[in-house]
Amino acid sequence: MTDSDRRIYVTGAAGLIGSNVVQALLTDGHAVIGIDNFWRGTQANIRQLSAHSKFVFRHADLAADQRWFISRTLSPVLATCSRTSGRYSRRTC
Ligand SMILES: NC(=O)c1ccc[n+]([C@@H]2O[C@H](COP(=O)([O-])OP(=O)(O)OC[C@H]3O[C@@H](n4cnc5c(N)ncnc54)[C@H](O)[C@@H]3O)[C@@H](O)[C@H]2O)c1
């Protein structure tokens, strides 16, 4: 696998921070796989991103299904998924 084939995984991609991280990575020319279960994130947050040729979105619950991380090579993962309630936040993947 070459650098140009490499994908960066962003978990919580439909959330506030995740969707902005995806946008920044695409702007920098990276290929991105975004994962979210829409527990809190929204379709609206990824609508514009979905039109990008280097963005793939997977609807998955990472607490139950981590197959998206199975890869022949190590891939960078930016984890932004969490459950937030008021001032409290809990990692969920
Ligand atoms: N927003 C801020 O100003 C801010 C500031 C400092 C730190 N943080 C931290 O950054 C992280 C992300 O914040 P945010 O504002 O983007 O939150 P957010 O709720 O908008 O995004 C989190 C995303 O994770 C997804 N998610 C949750 N559990 C999942 C699971 N099991 N599988 C797949 N997706 C899952 C949710 O659906 C959501 O889209 C949190 O840990 C938060 O505490 C946020």
Residue 88: what pLDDT? 59
For the CA of 41, the nearest atom of ligand 1? 39
Q: Does domain 3-67+77-91 have CATH number 3.40.50.300?
A: no
For the CA of 19, the nearest atom of ligand 1? 16
Residue 64: what pLDDT? 85
Ligand 1 contact via 68 beta carbon (within 6 Å): no
Give me the mean pLDDT over the 3-28 stretch: 90
DSSP letter string, the chain: --GGG-EEEEETTTSHHHHHHHHHHHHTT-EEEEEE--SS--HHHHHHHHTSTTEEEEE--TTT--GGG--SS---EEE--EEEETTEEEE--
Between these two residues, 81 and 47, which has the higher pLDDT value? 47
CA of 2 to the centre of ligand 1 (A): 31
- Per-residue pLDDT tens digits for 22-50: 999 999 999 999 999 999 999 999 999 99
